[in-house]
Structure formats: structure tokens, C-alpha cells
Amino acid sequence: MNKTLLTDLYQLTMDAAYADNGKDDTATFELFVRKLPANWGYYIANGIEEAIDYITTIKADTAELEKLRERNILPESYIEQLKSFKFEGDVHALKEGTPFFPEEPVMRVTAKRSQAQFIETTLLNIINFQTMIATKANRVVNAAREDKGREAKIVDFGLRRAQGEDAGMKGARAAYIAGAAGTSNVKAGLEYGLPIVGTHAHSFVMSFPSELEAFRAYTKTFPDNATLLIDTYDTVEGAQNAAIVAKELEFQGHRLGAVRLDSGDLADLSKKVRRLLDDEGLQYVRIVASNDLNENKIAELVSRGAPIDAYGVGTEMITAKPVAAIPGVYKIVEDNDGGKMKHSTGKKSHPGKHQVYRMEKRGAYTHDVIALEGESIGGKPLLEQVIKDGARVRPIPTLNETREHVRTEVAKFHHSVRDIGSYRPYDVKESDGLQRLTAKLTAKHLYTPEELALSYA
């Protein structure tokens, strides 16, 4: 999809007015997220690379522009200007997969005002969703890891409940970089090179005279490593039928892979099923569980000692339900007149161009500092230049590199930061320089220039 006009009309009206008023100085905008959803302790940056691709390839489609011209909502001269619009500025961004916190810039854009403003909506559309799903999925993955003895796998089953086709695709990808083992979404698996997994539905079982016959039919086609869904009628009877088929497969030199539970008390049933399978010598047959799972339900199953090897997670991971959206915004922070900040009730922003420094002590992160660019702070700077004069300057990481980056970075935070329930807020400080600039601009807003001159006298 050509995303050039996948934007809010006001980006175009503002640009038209900037052009008309000869206002095309250089400005800096930053993309950040205002706050964390309840019980979330961090975010995982995602969508950065797609955003870079978008910025560096903006080019309006001629037919679309023609349709836009016919609407008569923008000056003719601006439509002409849009024909040759391209982004020529600089962008700094977090590395894809980096954990970050509210108010920390995820991306910093410096360009002609018209160009920096133009990309706002599209950037937010890309980064808000993918960051939300990567974070949600990382929480789900962490929940399944709590038990030290067993690290259960998480698999994305969300396509049917995803908010459209793009959400199904990018959601599967986001879940994978966040640590999911694979997806049931065939197209996403092929497109992004993710492991594709799948079992069968209840309708398959109901299509045969008995469950046992259905299991035999399925394993006739997939004799090795199949997963049988055992709860169509009764889960324990289903496990017995699966055990019969597993023994028949053994006799033919094959092995059943797993059984899947999709209803009822999953902790209780998984224990019964595990015992039944073990009693039959089928220790190798794994247990997969699904049924409207989320990180809290998985944590509870883990704490109850449910012997579940993999969780299929659908609705709540692919939509981040009940969060559904994170408050990512894109704000002007500086132009030729200096630092800019907004004073609307409850919607303050940090003025100036920023860098974020992450402080580490003996392999663990202790705190971050949001500083003005150029301040000498120490620690690891998180924003890297990714676009220079409109061209990409950082190579695209592979998905597996990003996945590994997520894993190693998240591990360096105190476990309370990534706790899914009662996390401890991570410490994000503002540098002295940033505090001074904020105070100066706040004073400038509260007082007239004359009063201000007096107060600074």
C-alpha cells in the first residue's frame, strides 16, 4: 500500500499553510509515548524499521493526487507541490526491539518543517500498534517463563480476531520478535520467515463418526509430530483416544507430537492428561493449551503447576486487549526560535532535542536520563542516526537479531520492571539541562516578556 496519503488531512492543510506563509524553516519533532497502561512496566520499540522504509520512500501516487485535487479541499499549488514531495531530513531512532519508557523519544525527526510535520500520522500508525503488540507479547512470553523448571512456548493464534489483515500480519511479526515461537498465520509465516504451526479444529473431530476415527484420519496424513485437539466432547476421554492413536503410531514407527486443550479448567485438566499420558509411557507427547489466554491466566496456570508445554494465545495478544491502543504522540520540540513546549492541561511535552542515556551497573540497568542533545551525561545513548539527508544509514536487522536484542535487553532490567502484575516503576530522570530549559519556557509562558525580564533580572 502506498502510504503517502495514509494520513490525517490536517497534515496536508498545515503544510499548505506553511508553504503559503513562507514558513519552511527547520524543525525537530519527537515521537514518544505519554504513559504506560495499568500494570505494564515498559515498552518494546517496534515498527521502527518499517517507519524508516516509509519515510525514505514517500512518493505520492498520481491517480490518488488527482482524486484529491477533485475534492477541492486544498490549494491547487499545494497539490502540485505534493507531486514532488520527498523527505530530505535526518532521523534518529531507538534500535528495533529496545525496551523504553514513557516520555523517552523513540524517534527524533529534524527536517524542513513541512516534511517533519507531514509524516506524523503515518509514523504513529506504524509504531503505536507494533510497539504495543511487541510489548504485550513480551509480557505473555515472560508469564510463561516464570516457572524456573519449565519454559513454555508461546504461539500466536490471533489472526481471526486481529483488527484487519495488516494487524494479523504485523501482529504475528511483533509477537515473534518479542519471543513467541511461531504463528498459525500462514501468510505471515511465509512473508517474514516465522515458524508456522497448527493443529486441527473441533469441526474436524465432528466430521467423523467418532473422535477416535477423527484422530486416526488426521494422523494418517500427519503421522509425525501431529497435535490432536482433545476437548471436542470430553477432555479426559479425548486424551485416552489420543493415547490409543499415539500407541498405534509408535507401532508404525511414528510419534504423536502433542495434545491440545481448549476449554475447561486448564490447570486441572492438564495435570490429569499428563498423568494419563505418562501412565501410557507417552512422556514425549506435549500438552498445548489455548482458550482466551493472556499473560495473567498463563501466570496463574504456571503458579498452579500446570504441566503445559506451549500456549496458543489469540485475541488478547494480537489486539493487546483491553489496552487496545497506546498513547504514542509526535510533538514539535524545537525550531529556529529554540525549544518548544505545549502547555495544554495534562498534555505537557519536553522542549528541545533529546538523547536518552541508559545507565548500567554490573550488567543490570539502574536508570535512564533524558537529556538535551550535546549534554555530557555518560551511560549508553539509545538514539542512533537512521536517516541522513533523506537516506537510510543504518542497515535493517534480521528478525532474529531483533528477537535476540529484545531477549538480552529485557533481561538486563530488574525483574520487578518486567513483572506482569505489580511492577516497580523504572527510574527515568531528566537531566539538569532539560530541567532548566523546561523551567525557562514555563516561566516565559506564565509571565509576559516584561515580567520575565524582571524575574530573570
Q: Which positions from 349 through 368 interact with a second copy, judged by CB under 8 A? A: none
Binding window for a second copy (CB under 8 A); candidates: 83-91, 119-127, 358-366, 395-403: 119-127
CB 376 to a second copy: min, Å = 29
Region for 184 from its dihedrals, namely left if φ exceeds 0, alpha if ψ lies in -120 to 50, beta otherwise: alpha
Identify which of residues 126 and 356 has a Cβ nearer to a second copy in the complex.
126
CB 171 to a second copy: min, Å = 8
- Confirm or reject binding of residue 67 to a second copy (CB under 8 A): yes
Identify which of residues 4 and 142 has a Cβ nearer to a second copy in the complex.
4
Footprint of a second copy on 171-210 (CB under 8 A): 171, 184-187, 189-190, 196-204, 206-209
Instruction: Choose among 52, 58, 49, 77: nearest CA to 1.
Output: 58
CB 215 to a second copy: min, Å = 10
Name the β-bridge partners of 289. Answer: 261, 311
Residue type, 297: K
Q: Out of 48, 51, 68, 144, which residue is the one contacting a second copy (CB under 8 A)? A: 68
As a whole number of angstroms, the distance between CA 176 and CA 156 comes to: 8
Footprint of a second copy on 84-113 (CB under 8 A): 113
Name the β-bridge partners of 313. Answer: 156
As a whole number of angstroms, the distance between CA 49 and CA 54 comes to: 9
Q: Out of 83, 220, 412, 415, which residue is the one contacting a second copy (CB under 8 A)? A: 220
Secondary structure E strands in 70-171: 90-93, 99-100, 107-112, 153-156
Identify which of residues 93 and 159 has a Cβ nearer to a second copy in the complex.
159
- Confirm or reject binding of residue 399 to a second copy (CB under 8 A): no
Q: Out of 115, 131, 232, 240, which residue is the one contacting a second copy (CB under 8 A)? A: 232
Classified as helix, coil or strand, 442 is: helix
Planar angle of CA 53, 59, 60, nearest 5 degrees: 135
Q: Out of 90, 103, 120, 409, which residue is the one contacting a second copy (CB under 8 A)? A: 120
CB 207 to a second copy: min, Å = 6
Residue 210 per-residue DSSP state: S
CB 412 to a second copy: min, Å = 30
As a whole number of angstroms, the distance between CA 128 and CA 170 comes to: 12
Classified as helix, coil or strand, 452 is: helix
- Confirm or reject binding of residue 83 to a second copy (CB under 8 A): no
Q: Is beta strand 107-112 parallel, antiparallel or unpaired with respect to 428-430?
A: unpaired
- Kindly give, in sequence order, each residue whose CB lies less than 8 Å from that of residue 332, ignoring residues fewer than 6 positions away: 27, 28, 29, 116, 117, 340
As a whole number of angstroms, the distance between CA 28 and CA 51 comes to: 17
Identify which of residues 239 and 377 has a Cβ nearer to a second copy in the complex.
239
- Confirm or reject binding of residue 388 to a second copy (CB under 8 A): no
- Confirm or reject binding of residue 5 to a second copy (CB under 8 A): yes
Contact letters (x/-) for a second copy, 233-252, by CB under 8 A? xx------------------
Residue 92 contacts residue 393 (beta carbons within 8 Å): no
Identify which of residues 218 and 426 has a Cβ nearer to a second copy in the complex.
218
- The values of phi and psi at residue 107, to 5°, are -150, 140
Planar angle of CA 403, 408, 412, nearest 5 degrees: 145
Footprint of a second copy on 294-353 (CB under 8 A): 315-316, 318-325, 327-328, 331-332, 335, 337, 340, 342-347
Footprint of a second copy on 17-56 (CB under 8 A): 17-18, 20-21, 23, 27, 29
CB 289 to a second copy: min, Å = 14
Query: Which helix (DSSP H) or strand (DSSP E) does residue 328 occupy?
Result: strand 328-335
As a whole number of angstroms, the distance between CA 284 and CA 248 comes to: 15
Footprint of a second copy on 149-168 (CB under 8 A): 157, 159-168
CB 282 to a second copy: min, Å = 21
Name the β-bridge partners of 385. Answer: 92
Residue 44 contacts residue 406 (beta carbons within 8 Å): yes
Footprint of a second copy on 123-142 (CB under 8 A): 124-126, 128-129
CB 139 to a second copy: min, Å = 15
Number of residues that bind a second copy (CB under 8 A): 104
Instruction: Choose among 143, 105, 170, 130: nearest CA to 313.
Output: 143
